[in-house]
Structure 1
């Protein structure tokens, strides 16, 4: 055993996961607000420049405002949806070995070989393990025990798990 992690699926975990995903894994989501502002300004410019066709510009501006609201509230909606579907006491213990990881929870135990992951993305406050299919696993740095094993764990995972062609993929 190299290290263990005790991950508790609470609001703070999901907020951190979203922030890390947005910064290290998302391709375009972080630019969505800027796109919405540009679309709104484009619509206003069209409405002013072509006053006979102002409705077209107004529709672009309305679409931009809608996209802005959706982008600005996406994190809250995403986190709320995750928190609503998880039990209050939901947690998992993950044990990292040289060639596998084992997850243990109240519902059971599972072991997965590191070769079963298709990608590994280090992040600012943790790392993502990307399986062949399904949802990526985010492990915060603060959950790793012993804490001084974090850098060697990241080094091991980086060397054992093939990285995707584009590490910023979704």
Structure 2
């Protein structure tokens, strides 16, 4: 087996990466704006039903507004940092072979074993490779020459992680 994936790092990549991470990997962040809007509704309902609870309504209003702001501003900040990074406009090549995985980028090269990955998440638009909690590598589906290669990588990582967990 030899699967080579050439991933272009551009604005489209980062936007897709963030949305796929948010949907499939985020635990709290994906609920942040929903909690914020719910807090605003609860604040309004409390105030309409009992104006004497204006301080509770005000607190919920501030809390909800902060949650909504944090949700939308964090993506903007994250994206701005990546668009200003040295990785922008480059290409990273990942090569998956039977016994090893290689990553070749503009600033580094890595030769590792498949055990480097602790998990993999297949999304609608790509793969999130997870070396450890808090770190992930995103590969867009369109970066693969053959879509069957995606299933091969997922199967190999899942097999290794299942074997590791059963030991």
Q: Which bracket does the TM-score occupy, shorter chain normalised?
A: 0.7 to 0.9
Mark the CA change 1:162 to 1:121 in structure 2 (over 3 Å): closer, same or farther.
farther
In the other structure, the counterpart of 1:168 is none
User: In structure 2, how many angstroms separate the alpha carbons of the residues matched to 1:113 and 1:88?
Assistant: 27
- How many residue pairs align between the two structures? 165
Mark the CA change 1:106 to 1:51 in structure 2 (over 3 Å): closer, same or farther.
closer
User: In structure 2, how many angstroms separate the alpha carbons of the residues matched to 1:64 and 1:113?
Assistant: 45
User: In structure 2, how many angstroms separate the alpha carbons of the residues matched to 1:164 and 1:40?
Assistant: 46
Deviations 1:58-80 (A, max 9, x none): 12112212212322343232212
Give, in angstroms, the shift of residue 45 of structure 1: 2.4
Mark the CA change 1:155 to 1:53 in structure 2 (over 3 Å): closer, same or farther.
closer
CA-atom RMSD in angstroms: 2.5
Q: TM-score, normalised by structure 1?
A: 0.82
Give, in angstroms, the shift of residue 134 of structure 1: 5.7
User: In structure 2, how many angstroms separate the alpha carbons of the residues matched to 1:76 and 1:66?
Assistant: 15
Identify unmatched segments of 5+ residues in structure 2.
Answer: none
Give, in angstroms, the shift of residue 111 of structure 1: 0.7
Identify unmatched segments of 5+ residues in structure 1.
Answer: 166-170
In the other structure, the counterpart of 1:2 is 2
Please state whether the residue corresponding to 2:118 is helix, strand or coil: strand
Larger RCO: Structure 1 or Structure 2 (Cα < 8 Å, ≥ 6 residues apart)?
1
User: In structure 2, how many angstroms separate the alpha carbons of the residues matched to 1:23 and 1:77?
Assistant: 18
**Which aligned pairs between 1:98-109 and structure 2 lie closer than 5 A?**
98-109=98-109
User: In structure 1, how many angstroms separate the alpha carbons of the residues matched to 2:64 and 2:12?
Assistant: 30
Matched, 1:19 2:19: yes
In the other structure, the counterpart of 1:160 is 160
